[in-house]
Amino acid sequence: MKVAAITKIGSLKDPDPSKRGRVELIDYPEQEVGPEDVKIRVAYCSICGSDPHVAEGIFGTDVPIGLGHEVSGVVEALGEKATKKGLKVGDRVAANFLRFCGTCYYCQNGQQQFCEHTDEYHRPGMAEYVVWHESQVYKLPDNVSLKEGCLLEPTAIAVRAMDKMGHKVGSRVAICGGGPIGQLALQMVKMYGATYLTMIEPVAERREIALSFGAEYVIDPATQDVVEEAMRITGGLGFDVVLDASGAPAAVGNLPRITAKGGTLLYGAMYPGDFTMPLNLFKYCYFNELTISGFYVAPYAFPRALQLLPRLNLKPFTAKVVPLERVAEAYDVHMSSKYLKVLVQCNEGLE
């Protein structure tokens, strides 16, 4: 079967073609369907902001590296013991690309995100088919399309952000980065009753999307002083909760300065592996008592994300679709930041 893969390590936006990373289709063996497995005919797989980091070698350089984990599709086949969720052939589904074993120390300690055995089912989803364990697969509600369904995984990431924020009704909230996670999180904190809700984002179209989703304020970090604007908006108090969803080293250094005393600062993106950010511990952790954290994947979040999908405005996320055979073009479009999300259609005729 055909699978999208990184076949050459390097930045996908390197101006030198000889150094640029490469995405292309490769032939890949179909996985066997085990007794508790589900074979999915993939409809759509959306490109994640982490995928360019894969091309840069952050997860290893042994190419080819299969891509894709934000998947929706239709059940093609079931193992004889895949019965616990009531799935059947033809069901429209989405999935969590990680299988948590349930038996290691971390799974038993309420820390699925650190499961020691997730590699067993780490299979590329930007493909014609993918086989995952039944525990990874979720039947989509009837009022959620397959285009929207492939957003279950990023929606689960935003749910995880909500869990880590410890958000209280009425909290002043800022989100840095108007990509998919930032825009999903913005919709969620709006539901939570956020006040002074602010999006920090350099792309004008994404600021407009944030306003349409309920942001009260937007800041353009390319033309405005983020700290000055944040203090003006909050009357000098800063934000009770600040979420970084940008993953941009240039964007994150000032975020402690706009976080209120006693507030929560959440670095919720993937950053370059060699990036180190200076932090004045006396001022921000001792004197201002900030809670600073991050998060890795989305444990315990998928069932709630599934319930949220019909309640979110997902239309701006599904505007651009590129067929699997033009996957290199899809990544070029993704790197342009022209669209909020780029979906790769892996099989035709599935809606």
Note whether 271 and 224 are same-domain residues: yes
Tell me: pLDDT of 121 over 90. no
Query: What per-residue confidence (pLDDT) applies to 272?
Result: 83
Q: 6 and 147: one domain?
A: yes
Same domain, 162 and 136: no
Q: Are 139 and 93 in contact (CB under 8 A)?
A: yes
Q: Are 23 and 69 contained in the same domain?
A: yes
Residues 126 and 6 in one domain: yes
pLDDT of 271 reads 87
The pLDDT score that the predictor gives to residue 274 is: 85
What's the 3-state SS for the chain?
CEEEEEEECCCCCCCCCCCCCEEEEEECCCCCCCCCEEEEEEEEEECCCCHHHHHCCCCCCCCCEECCCEEEEEEEEECCCCCCCCCCCCCEEEECCCCCCCCCHHHHCCCHHHCCCHHHHCCCCCECEEEEEHHHEEECCCCCCHHHHCCHHHHHHHHHHHHHHCCCCCCEEEEECCCHHHHHHHHHHHHCCCEEEEEECCCHHHHHHHHHCCCCEEECCCCCCHHHHHHHHCCCCCEEEEEECCCCHHHHCCHHHHEEEEEEEEECCCCCCCCCCCCCHHHHHHHCCCEEEECCCCCCCHHHHHHHHHHCCCHHHCCEEEEHHHHHHHHHHHHHCCCCCEEEECCCCCC
pTM value surpassing 0.85: yes
**Is 147 a member of any domain?**
yes
Contact 347, 73 (CB under 8 A): yes
Query: Do 87 and 215 share a domain, yes or no?
Result: no
Q: What is the CATH number of the domain that holds 105?
A: 3.90.180.10
Q: Is the dihedral of CA 139, 143, 147, 150 positive or negative?
A: negative
pLDDT class for 273, splitting at 50, 70, 90? confident
The pLDDT score that the predictor gives to residue 104 is 97
Residue-number span of the structural domain to which 266 is assigned: 158-294
140 lies in some domain: yes
Question: Do 22 and 137 sit in the same domain of this protein?
Answer: yes
Do 213 and 228 fall within a single domain? Answer: yes
Say if strands 320-323 and 92-95 run parallel, antiparallel, or are unpaired: unpaired
Q: Is residue 152's pLDDT more than 90?
A: yes
Residue 303 is assigned to a structural domain of this protein: no
- For residue 241, give the CATH number of its domain: 3.40.50.720
Q: What is the pLDDT of residue 59?
A: 85
Same domain, 84 and 173: no
Q: Are 60 and 11 in the same domain? A: yes
Distances (CA, A) of 198 to 134, 174, 181: 39, 5, 15
Domain count, the chain: 2
Judgement on whether residues 117 and 206 belong to the same structural domain of the protein = no
pLDDT of 78 reads: 97
Report, as an integer, the average pLDDT of 335-346: 95
Query: In this prediction, what percent of the chain has a pLDDT beyond 70?
Result: 100
178 and 278 together in one domain = yes
Average pLDDT over residues 131-135: 96
pLDDT of residue 159: 97
pLDDT in tens, 35-78: 999 999 999 999 999 999 899 998 889 999 999 999 999 999 99
Please check whether residue 351 lies inside any domain of the structure: no
